[in-house]
């Protein structure tokens, strides 16, 4: 169990320790699908726990901060997409787990950095104080740095064979880089969307949110040895799902429950940022998300019955309340 403390200058005030929870996928689908999602999440959480045990060279406070951020309760959407994509392509979950953990580490690093005062300046994430609120800004920056490095190390050493590991490193590096996740965040911070410029807003979110979701599916396919046509189907599904995810995120920001979502709401409006509900309206945004989800489900029809878990997770994205 984590020994969690607030940082106030150079002193610590203890918090009540909070156990790491296993997040399950709550959807309108049947209990069998929910149980399967819970099992995958438990496998992911167990692997993340193992991968975040560092050797003696890691300072204890840094290790504690990494685990605080990484093991916080969450949807585990992206690592589950890695595993489901691998299974859809005939792969094995155990062989895809390293890639799933690497994706979650990149995602967590991006959240830790996004929450910093110089970026989105958030004090709540996944229902808990953000990493910099607990450990200070400097250590939170280092947490992100360490997670980025650890993700690539895991891919390079634990994905087999070596050529697939190299492809995974390249795909994840692109998705996290200046033309994708980081570039999207930079454009978002610059506030370049004015008027009813929906294409510019979509460009930001295809990079900031969609690129890592798409890479999650691509990594699952690469690990499973998918043929190019199936990798292309996974990428198309990921691009559509990523945009739908961001639209529902914007909807939750204006109409969701902070307790359910686990982060501060209405912050985009407070900062004057453009959102889909602002540009399209709430109902049109919901319709757009539903359309994107149906197109995503159609993109993976090539997998036949093996696509059903991907269909279910897409519908969860459409209907989610957190």
For residue 129, give the H/E element and its range: strand 128-129
Residue with tokens 């709550």: 26
223 with 155: CB under 8 angstroms? Answer: no
The pLDDT tens digits of the residues spanning 221-248 come to 999 999 999 999 999 999 999 999 999 9
Give the pairing type, strands 128-129 and 124-125. antiparallel
In the CATH scheme, what architecture does the domain 5-319 have? Orthogonal Bundle (1.10)
DSSP 8-class letter at 16? P
Instruction: Name the DSSP letter for residue 207.
Output: I
Distance CA 119, CA 106 (A): 17
Distance CA 53, CA 203 (A): 37
Cross-strand pairs, 125: 128
Which segments of the chain have a pLDDT < 70?
1-33, 192, 194-195, 256-272, 322
Largest CA distance in the chain: 57
Q: What pTM value is reported for the model?
A: 0.86
Q: Give dist(CA 140, CA 131) in Å, integer.
A: 6
Residue the block writes with tokens 């798409």: 214
Helix (H, G, I), strand (E, B) or coil at 126: coil
CB 209 within 8 A of CB 195: no
């Amino acid at each position: 169990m984590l020994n969690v403390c607030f940082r106030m200058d150079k002193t610590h005030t203890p918090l009540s320790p909070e156990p790491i929870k296993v997040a399950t996928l709550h959807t309108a689908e049947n209990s069998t699908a929910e149980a399967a999602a819970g099992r995958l999440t438990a496998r992911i959480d167990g692997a993340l726990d193992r991968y975040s045990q560092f050797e003696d060279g890691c300072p204890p406070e840094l290790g504690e901060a990494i685990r605080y951020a990484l093991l916080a309760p969450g949807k585990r959407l992206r690592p589950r997409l890695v595993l489901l994509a691998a299974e859809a392509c005939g792969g094995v979950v155990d062989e895809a787990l390293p890639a799933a953990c690497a994706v979650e580490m990149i995602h967590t690093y991006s959240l830790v950095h996004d929450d910093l005062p110089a970026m989105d300046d958030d004090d709540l994430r996944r229902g808990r104080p953000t990493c910099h609120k607990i450990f200070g800004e400097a250590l939170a920056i280092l947490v992100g740095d360490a997670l980025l490095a650890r993700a690539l190390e895991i891919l390079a050493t634990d994905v087999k064979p070596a050529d697939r590991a190299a492809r995974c490193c390249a795909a994840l590096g692109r998705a996290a880089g200046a033309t994708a996740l980081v570039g999207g965040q930079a454009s978002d911070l610059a506030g370049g969307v004015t008027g009813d410029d929906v294409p510019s807003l979509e460009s930001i979110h295809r990079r900031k949110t969609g690129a890592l979701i798409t890479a999650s599916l691509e990594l699952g396919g690469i690990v499973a040895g998918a043929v190019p046509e199936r990798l292309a189907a996974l990428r198309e599904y990921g691009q559509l799902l990523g945009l739908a995810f961001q639209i529902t995120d914007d909807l939750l920001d204006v109409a969701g429950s902070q307790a359910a979502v686990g982060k501060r709401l209405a912050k985009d409006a407070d900062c004057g940022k453009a959102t889909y509900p602002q540009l399209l309206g709430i109902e049109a945004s919901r319709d757009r998300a539903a359309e994107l989800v149906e197109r995503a489900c159609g993109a993976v029809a090539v997998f036949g019955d093996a696509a059903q878990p991907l269909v279910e997770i897409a519908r969860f994205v459409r209907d989610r309340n957190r």
